[in-house]
Structure 1
């Protein structure tokens, strides 16, 4: 037993020895982003490599706010990301439940189409989507255009379908025999059991919406509807690029993602691995 424990400990030490430097390599660009956000532009492009923060973060943030109205764009991004996450989780949960519980003609075709949409590049969809929303419906620069078109998420439907398919059907059948309605089975039994998967899906959807750039850039050209990533893009001009302000905005946008993941990482890991063992 002592020999096995020693070998296991040796493997753990070797694993940490390999993964530790790799983690530092991954974290270095993030740390340099923080350092650059506290420096003037001439310091960012200085030949001397600086690894410690300076004192210009507030000055860079004031410049960022003056050029883009950044706090307003962050508020727009928060509203869009939270609303999109909640509505998309609801829709994908209902779609996944329907694909598991109901047997209907064409069910296999629907599942195949959902799988097929995962292989489509986003740029194949975004142009027809933009023409339909902006030209035919005239909904550009509206909350509806920012939130509703990205709601359907094929990955989310497959996530929830897998989660519901792993649950014992006998549990739902027993509730149905007792007279519990289908909607109550879904909301009071299935959804509570799928909490880890829902948490993992919510993190993925929130981060995807928070970082989305192409669709808000196309559909929201007015300053009052710009999201924060689009606002940062406006700082890249033909003759001047405000690198200090861009790095400062990137730091501000990174903090919510880290907070969401840190507080929900337990649910994220359990949700990702929920279907690994049956």
Structure 2
């Protein structure tokens, strides 16, 4: 917008009064033109400010800019409010036109379930900053599903190696390399000890609930607590990694794996005892 254009239109940012006059003159134009013009004037005002040293001029221009900025802010607020109003009207219309099924308690409960935010499925606090962080990470992974442990560590190694390529600080490089070394040793031990065989797949939530009903009073309180936790994440077992047991403070994936391991050891011991008794009977 040149000098002639400015004089012709009467738009400007000399001071607060000029800014207010500009907004009044713009009222006869469409909203898009008004918005673009005000933004353009703000841009020009900022450039003029950078070249102006007179304190009174700076003060006047800043006041004019404030008028324009407030106008734009109000415009954005009104823009945000309109969709909200429309959404409310849509909701009201749906309620008015809704069928008996839509207003039934079962559907309302279902909607609440859908809106419920589920816990994350990744363990927080894992890292590769240095040796201590790596050791803390492995400690945090103890007792969790073996396949997840391996996957998490591999992921951390990959991220650590990418960070190495863009890091120049020698101390950081050394610390990250130590962390990688610890993780790589973990993976070597993991494979040599065949820990993947200890992975215990989860039964689906439907099967678990059916088993609970069939077991009747034989279900322990601890088992009920696990089923409740499993149900709270809609049977998405990965999310149990961040759902804590009420009593011990451990997450349910660890609690479940420990119980499963103990049960396996108990069954193995019983099996060995049975074999010993059979051998004794043969004597």
If the length of structure 2 is used for normalisation, what is the TM-score? Answer: 0.27
Instruction: Specify the structure having the higher radius of gyration (Cα).
Output: 2
TM-score normalized by structure 1?
0.27
Higher-RCO chain (CA-CA 8 Å, sequence separation at least 6): 1
